[in-house]
Structure 1
Amino acid sequence: MNSTRTALVTGANKGIGFAIVQGLAAEGFRVLVGARDRTRREQAVDRLRADGVDALGIALDVTSDQGVAAAAAEVERAVGRLDVLVNNAGISGPTAEDFTQDPTSLDLDVVRTVLDTNVLGVIRVTNAMLPLLRRSPSPRIVNMSSDMGSLTLRTGPIMAAYAPSKSMLNAVTVQYARQLEGTPVIINAACPGYVASDFTHHAGVRTPEQGATIAVRLATLPDDGPRGGFFNEEGPIPW
């Protein structure tokens, strides 16, 4: 079997996702750019290849059962296994002019839409890719979360769909870690911090490259690394 390690990153055509791909490529990974938009996906792959990166685009809509299954089949056909999965794709959902989501007037369809990407999408992709990850000697899964989901810290504006979706993502990460205990598969959640990107309307104070650092670190943990934790660059985050 080819000894080159392969990493799939969802929502990888721009922002933090693209920076994570670059960081993993710098660690020697072949990178799979998962993204819905064909044009943006191809542009991202072209940028990476121009820098000498071994990159391949994977059509991937995390909200589609059929699309995720097709993506897993494409990964199997193209590379045969996965060593790292970074579940980065996420949405904030519509917000008010002050970037808030008022729980007292929240449209339930907004909650459903956000959960479908930020939580159900992670479960869809993870379960579809697990058979490929189990073929790796040291498989790693990183779920990109946010400290806005921390019930302890209560950071950021009130976002009654987005923040709870990250609380649930952290909880789901723990359940995976419990189920995968005793296997080589290590899963954790990461907080990139307040990054200047399209997601934050470029209001963040950190670069995408800074935000990607913790994801790359968790994706390259040793075999005795932590499981089911929630981390930023400084260490564990209370949640």
Structure 2
Amino acid sequence: MPITLITGANKGLGFETARRLIGLGHTVIISARNTGLGQSAAQQLGARFVQLDVTDDASVTRAAQDIEAHEGRLDVLINNAGISGPHRETAQLTGADATEVFNTNVAGIVRVTQALLPLLQRAEHPVVINVSSGMGSFAATHDPERPEGQFVAPLYTASKAAVTMLTTQYARGLPSIRFNAVDPGYTATEFNGHSGPQTVLEGTDAIVTLATEAPEAGTGRFIDRFGPVAW
């Protein structure tokens, strides 16, 4: 039975991914910054909760120690936690704004992955899935026919481009672990004020695919629910 950790899983895509993977036989650990919200979500799902703030080294270390003590290994890590950043005009963005977004969306993945590497390396076929976005794709953001071509969000889009490149580099640097990135698509969640045309079921299709596919499926890829994403 695969043991799976999902960060930022108390709502939205993380919550739905947990629900689906539990239904497919995974032992799921969900994490969130807020203990109350995380525990409530875990109770609804029948999952185990571990408090984890991806921006806090001590919190990440404690979470890794907790999983070490309870499960002893990790088969699938889904780096889902992320923020959109400040909603203000481009000319008003600051270095502090950039630091906050990249600290969560990019450095957070590095913190969590690094802390959990020993547990992943105990799995027979370890998998890391990084939730990126089509908003980080040059191809998508330069296509005026796509939703990604309609928005201006410099820090979020740049951070997601970094997530995708980080994924390909981890895939090369750690070939014993399968690293892939996913674009959930424009999905109706609290993250975007429920404005997306996709349901959370559709938005989690690609994540679930990567979490359940055969080991020979490959590493260093970027996919959405329809297949490979140009970026």
Q: TM-score range by the shorter chain?
A: over 0.9
Alignment correspondent of 1:52: none
Alignment correspondent of 1:152: 139
Alignment correspondent of 1:175: 169
Q: Percent identity?
A: 41
Pick aligned residue for 2:155 from 145, 158, 161: 161
TM-score (norm 1): 0.91
Per-residue deviation, 1:94:
1.2
CA contact (8 A) 1:144 1:190 kept: yes
Per-residue deviation, 1:146:
0.4
1:38 aligns with 2:38: no
1:205 aligns with 2:197: yes
Alignment correspondent of 1:196: 188
Per-residue deviation, 1:105:
3.3
| SS of structure 1 residue aligned to 2:16 | helix
| SS of structure 1 residue aligned to 2:154 | coil
Question: What does 1:65-214 correspond to in 2, within 5 Å?
Answer: 65-96=57-88, 102=90, 104-154=91-141, 155=148, 156-181=150-175, 183=176, 185-214=177-206
CA distance in 2, matches of 1:36, 1:228: 28
Aligned residues: 224
Higher helix share: 2
Per-residue deviation, 1:61:
0.2
Please list every run of at least 4 consecutive aligned residues from structure 1 whose deviation after the TM superposition is greater than 6 angstroms: none
CA distance in 2, matches of 1:27, 1:140: 16
CA distance in 2, matches of 1:9, 1:147: 20
1:87-125 C-alpha deviation (Å, 9 max, x unpaired):
0000001113xxxx51x4321211110000000000100
1:8 aligns with 2:8: no
Per-residue deviation, 1:225:
1.1
Root-mean-square deviation (CA, aligned residues, Å) is 1.0
| SS of structure 2 residue aligned to 1:161 | helix
Alignment correspondent of 1:47: 44
Per-residue deviation, 1:7:
0.3
1:99-156 C-alpha deviation (Å, 9 max, x unpaired):
xx51x43212111100000000001001111110111101111000100000122124
CA distance in 1, matches of 2:202, 2:140: 21
Look up the equivalent residue of 1:176 and give its one-letter code: Y
| SS of structure 1 residue aligned to 2:152 | coil
CA distance in 1, matches of 2:197, 2:139: 22
| SS of structure 1 residue aligned to 2:139 | coil
5+ unaligned residues in a row in structure 1: which ranges?
50-54
CA distance in 1, matches of 2:205, 2:116: 23
Pick aligned residue for 1:23 from 17, 20, 24: 20
Pick aligned residue for 1:58 from 28, 50, 59: 50
CA distance in 1, matches of 2:166, 2:139: 18
Look up the equivalent residue of 1:134 and give its one-letter code: Q
Alignment correspondent of 2:220: 228
| SS of structure 2 residue aligned to 1:67 | helix
5+ unaligned residues in a row in structure 2: which ranges?
142-147
Look up the equivalent residue of 2:94 and give its one-letter code: D
